[in-house]
């Protein structure tokens, strides 16, 4: 049976690749816009076993599943699982908040955190959740204000004003926010209206030994045994509306919440995932693939590898640094490994060849008709040329992003003083003007220094600037690098020592003293600020203009390419690339064969956790309470077949931003949380692989077992709606409803 399934999958994949890499209608590929489900997906989903209607998934006028799904902080997804605003997401999504509340005395990273009652739930300044109220196709409104004679530069400059007009109209008589997003490379535009809540409190999180079990070693890998979840609660004002944090706020009365099923997950079961996927590039052409393999990915891997070496050494040496940098380290390492895997799989799948083959087919279709040739004849040639031009400049852009805007932190932090410098330079600046310009630095100072270690950042500063000087062509380097060469003989450690000895941006005491009496001369001479502005000013004056012009050409030709592809295949359903807007993907629970003579089953168990256990290795440490429960086989009502299932895989199409997305069964019940993709399909953001692509999910039964047995948080279990068997066959709401209405 297994061998036959493998043969069928390979045959399907062969047919898929033979047809080109763009978007055949497949149940397991696609991040679909919710307002198109009725037209494009409902029938296919129901053939796979889904018992939901399109209206139950997405409705503007009635409560639907989309009303339980939130964008968490703009970087993850969560879902409401009780009528009192309880929200579940991934552990790695909540890690920053867990870390922010931790200290050597209260080490929630190591020990976990479980609020005993509502008063014990911990506030998180700056964290928000955003509910989608509605989406609307506004392509016509946008295009009626775009003349066909506009250049790409003029078009780009016109769009923000058009978007503003549309979003202002959508939010005129309400407290919502809105944005207009480009779809299909700018061939379509959609309005998204949101309701945002800014009081989100930490309720519970397991220890790192559960929530991050396997660490970097297992990251992006299957089999997996990670309990990647955390719990938050959304609070509102007493009137039920969004409000800033206050002790007087009350738990949100959910418009919609999702029940949990512990009836079990089996192979071939229908799965649906809703969330806010960040970014895919499925329409990327061969030139873009080549640039990724030759320029972008190797550079990011090289820089992050060095960052990790420095940060991990300091974390190992100092417990306080470990707590401060755990979340930062995880963010760096996640995409360090991702880009290694993406490059490997792009080569394995020969994605560049697939893309060139598609471009050849496109050219043949174009050249077969004079009218098409007039519209699309130069598109693929122009795209290849633009990527060649971009590749010559893009290495500098990658280094700028990774070094100036990420780590070391002193560069991005000090660069935040540019507005203050501008005000100080003005002849008529008042004390009020100066203090207003200094306000963001004042406001961000506490948050910045709370998780900052000077020695670590100095080591990063020296190492990153040295790599910049080594890898970026001399003619593309800012003047500060010539100063380092002439004054310090390219001794970057010596330069770093001077910068950190002299800069006001290294400690809160120095910065506060400076901001109390800001001085233009002192700011301009500050070595950290001087380094940051030298690099940024040179980039903007010498490289940014050229890159912008290339990007304009890429945008114009990519828009034409996608338009032509859709015209070339009028009977094929296409979906737009992910762009942090709410999407739905559907598929089923499936195993796979990663390589010759190797088979991966579709679920893992707690027995695998114990097989990996190594208490001398921080990634595979098991706490005593966990081990005791395992020895007793105390799995409660969450066990299956004498063990406890930990994770399972499905062939849903997801990407970054989907972290924390709930996996729903055919009845709309929560059966797991998506938290990762698999190594063999790391090319997925650019090319979907129907044979190898899998989404890795933590089983909701494992989540509930950890909450109840390890967290001793029975009150949270009691708050949820947990179903132990499938609902009856007669029609009933797919999710729990409330009577709360939301004005549209």
The SS3 assignment for 273 reads strand
Q: 570-583, pLDDT tens digit by residue? A: 999 999 999 999 99
Residues 368 and 387 occupy one common structural domain: yes
The SS3 assignment for 684 reads coil
Q: What is the set of active-site residues? A: 92, 228, 659
Residues 317 and 399 occupy one common structural domain: yes
How far, in Å, CA of 289 to CA of 118, rounded? 50
Domain-ending residue, one of 148, 171, 196: 196
Enclosing domain of residue 384: 286-564
Confidence grade of residue 706 (pLDDT, cut at 50, 70, 90): very high
Please return the burial class of 520, using the count of CB atoms within 10 Å of its CB with bins 0-12, 13-18 and 19+.
middle
Residue 249 lies in a domain: no
Confidence grade of residue 413 (pLDDT, cut at 50, 70, 90): very high
Residues 541 and 630 occupy one common structural domain: no
Residue 51 lies in a domain: no
Give the mean pLDDT of 710-718. 98
Residues 100 and 148 occupy one common structural domain: no
Residues 556 and 693 occupy one common structural domain: no
Alpha-carbon distances, residue 445 vs 30, 199, 455 (angstroms): 42, 21, 18
Q: 282-303, pLDDT tens digit by residue? A: 999 999 999 999 999 999 999 9
Residue 5: predicted pLDDT: 57
Listed in sequence order, the residues at least 6 apart from 472 whose beta carbon sits closer than 8 Å to its beta carbon are 395, 396, 399
The SS3 assignment for 134 reads strand
Residues 384 and 408 occupy one common structural domain: yes
Residue 742 has pLDDT above 60, yes or no: no
Domain-ending residue, one of 539, 564, 589: 564
Residue 18 has pLDDT above 90, yes or no: no
Give the mean pLDDT of 110-138. 97
- Comparing CA positions, the residue from 564, 185, 557 lying closest to residue 381 is 557
Structural domain total, the chain: 3
Q: 617-631, pLDDT tens digit by residue? A: 999 999 999 999 999
Residues 710 and 628 occupy one common structural domain: yes
Residue 624 lies in a domain: yes
Give the mean pLDDT of 74-87. 97
Residue 462 lies in a domain: yes
Residue 652 lies in a domain: yes
How far, in Å, CA of 644 to CA of 265, rounded? 12
Confidence grade of residue 541 (pLDDT, cut at 50, 70, 90): very high
Residue 43 lies in a domain: no
Residues 541 and 628 occupy one common structural domain: no
Count H helices and E strands in the chain, helices first.
30, 25
Residue 643: predicted pLDDT: 97
How far, in Å, CA of 422 to CA of 603, rounded? 58
Residues 468 and 535 occupy one common structural domain: yes
Q: How many CB atoms lie within 10 A of CB 468?
A: 22
Buried b (16+ CB within 10 A) or exposed e, 282-293: bbbbbbbbbbbb
Average pLDDT, the chain: 93
Provide the CATH number for the domain around residue 93: 2.40.10.10
Residue 140 lies in a domain: yes
Residue 725: predicted pLDDT: 73
Residue 736 has pLDDT above 70, yes or no: no
- Comparing CA positions, the residue from 263, 52, 50 lying closest to residue 732 is 52
**Percent of the chain at pLDDT above 70?**
94
Q: 335-360, pLDDT tens digit by residue? A: 999 999 999 999 999 999 999 999 99
Do the Cβ atoms of 495 and 488 come closer than 8 Å? yes
Listed in sequence order, the residues at least 6 apart from 154 whose beta carbon sits closer than 8 Å to its beta carbon are none
Confidence grade of residue 148 (pLDDT, cut at 50, 70, 90): confident
Residues 389 and 462 occupy one common structural domain: yes
Residues 461 and 497 occupy one common structural domain: yes
Residue 429: predicted pLDDT: 85
Q: Give the per-residue SS3 of 638-675.
A: HCECCECEEEEEECCCCCCCCCCCEEECCCCCEEEEEE
Alpha-carbon distances, residue 480 vs 498, 537, 567, 689 (angstroms): 14, 11, 51, 45
Do the Cβ atoms of 113 and 202 come closer than 8 Å? yes
Query: Residue 718's Cα: distance from chain center in Å?
Result: 31
Residues 457 and 493 occupy one common structural domain: yes
Give the mean pLDDT of 65-73. 98
Question: Which two three-digit tokens encode residue 354?
Answer: 């697939």
Residue 41 lies in a domain: no
Instruction: Give yes or no for a cis peptide into 516 (omega within 30° of 0).
Output: no
Q: 426-457, pLDDT tens digit by residue? A: 888 888 889 999 999 988 998 899 999 999 99
Residue 395 has pLDDT above 70, yes or no: yes
Domain-ending residue, one of 178, 196, 214: 196
Give the mean pLDDT of 566-593. 96
Residue 4: predicted pLDDT: 52
Q: 82-107, pLDDT tens digit by residue? A: 999 999 999 999 999 999 999 999 99
Report the greatest alpha carbon distance in the chain.
Answer: 81
């Amino acid at each position: 049976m297994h061998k036959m399934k493998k043969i069928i999958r390979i045959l399907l994949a062969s047919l898929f690749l033979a047809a080109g890499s763009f978007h055949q209608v497949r149940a397991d590929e696609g991040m679909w816009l919710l307002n198109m489900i009725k037209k494009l997906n409902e029938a296919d989903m129901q053939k796979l076993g889904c018992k939901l209607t399109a209206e139950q998934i997405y409705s503007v006028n009635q409560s639907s599943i989309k009303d339980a799904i939130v964008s968490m902080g703009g970087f993850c997804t969560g879902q409401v699982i009780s009528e009192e605003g309880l929200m579940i997401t991934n552990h790695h999504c909540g890690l920053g908040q867990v870390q922010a509340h931790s200290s050597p005395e209260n080490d929630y990273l190591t020990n976990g955190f479980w609020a005993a009652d509502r008063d014990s739930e911990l506030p998180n300044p700056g964290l928000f959740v955003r509910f989608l109220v509605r989406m609307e196709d506004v392509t016509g409104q946008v295009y009626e204000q775009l003349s066909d004679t506009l250049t790409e530069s003029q078009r780009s400059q016109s769009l923000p004003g058009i978007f503003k007009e549309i979003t202002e109209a959508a939010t005129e008589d309400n407290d919502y926010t809105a944005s207009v997003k480009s779809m299909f490379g700018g061939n379509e535009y959609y309005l998204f209206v949101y309701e945002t809540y800014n009081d989100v409190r930490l309720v519970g999180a397991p220890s790192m030994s559960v929530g991050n079990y396997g660490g970097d070693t297992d990251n992006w890998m299957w089999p997996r045994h990670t309990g990647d979840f955390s719990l938050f609660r959304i609070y509102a004002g007493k009137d039920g509306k969004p409000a800033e944090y206050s002790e007087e706020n009350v738990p949100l009365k959910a418009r919609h919440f999702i029940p949990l099923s512990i009836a079990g997950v089996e192979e071939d079961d229908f799965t649906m995932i809703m969330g806010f996927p960040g970014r895919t590039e499925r329409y990327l052409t061969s030139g873009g693939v080549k640039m990724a393999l030759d320029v972008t990915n190797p550079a990011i891997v090289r820089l992050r590898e060095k960052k990790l070496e420095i940060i991990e050494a300091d974390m190992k040496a100092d417990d306080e640094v470990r707590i401060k940098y755990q979340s930062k380290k995880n963010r760096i390492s996640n995409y360090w490994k991702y880009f290694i895997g993406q490059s490997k799989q792009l080569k394995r799948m020969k994605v560049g060849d697939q893309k060139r083959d598609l471009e050849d087919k496109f050219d043949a279709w174009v050249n077969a008709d004079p009218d098409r040739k007039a519209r699309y004849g130069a598109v693929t040639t122009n795209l290849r040329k633009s990527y060649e031009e971009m590749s010559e400049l893009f290495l500098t852009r990658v280094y700028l992003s990774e070094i100036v805007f990420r780590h070391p932190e002193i560069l991005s932090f000090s660069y935040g003083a540019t507005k203050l410098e501008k005000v100080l330079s003005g002849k008529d600046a008042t004390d009020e003007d100066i203090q207003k310009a200094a306000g963001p630095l004042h406001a961000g100072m506490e948050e910045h220094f709370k998780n900052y270690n000077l020695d670590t950042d100095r080591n990063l500063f020296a190492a990153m600037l040295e790599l910049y000087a080594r890898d970026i062509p001399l003619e593309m380097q800012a003047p500060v690098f010539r100063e380092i060469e002439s004054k310090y003989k390219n001794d970057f450690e010596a330069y770093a020592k001077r910068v950190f000895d002299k800069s006001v941006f290294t400690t809160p005491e120095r910065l506060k003293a400076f901001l109390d009496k800001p001085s233009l001369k002192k700011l301009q001479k500050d070595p950290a600020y001087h380094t940051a502005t030298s690099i940024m000013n040179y980039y903007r004056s010498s490289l940014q203009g050229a890159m912008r012009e290339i990007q304009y050409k890429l945008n114009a030709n990519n828009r034409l390419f996608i338009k032509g592809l859709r015209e070339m295949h009028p009977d094929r359903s296409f979906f737009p690339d992910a762009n942090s807007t709410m999407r739905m993907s559907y598929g089923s629970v499936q195993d796979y064969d990663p390589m010759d003579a190797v088979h991966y089953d579709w679920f893992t168990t707690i027995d695998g956790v114990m097989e990996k256990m190594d208490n001398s290795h921080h990634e595979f440490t098991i706490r005593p309470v966990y081990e005791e429960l395992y020895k007793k086989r105390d799995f409660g009502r969450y066990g299956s077949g004498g063990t406890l299932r930990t994770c399972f895989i499905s062939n849903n199409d997801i990407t970054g931003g989907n972290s924390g997305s709930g996996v729903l069964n055919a009845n709309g019940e929560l059966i797991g949380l998506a938290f990762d993709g698999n190594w063999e399909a790391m090319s997925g953001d650019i090319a979907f692989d129907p044979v190898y692509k899998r989404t890795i999910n933590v089983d909701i039964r494992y989540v509930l077992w950890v909450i109840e047995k390890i967290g001793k948080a029975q009150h949270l279990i009691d708050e949820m709606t947990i179903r132990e068997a499938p609902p009856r066959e007669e029609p009933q709401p797919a999710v729990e409803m409330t009577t709360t209405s939301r004005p549209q």
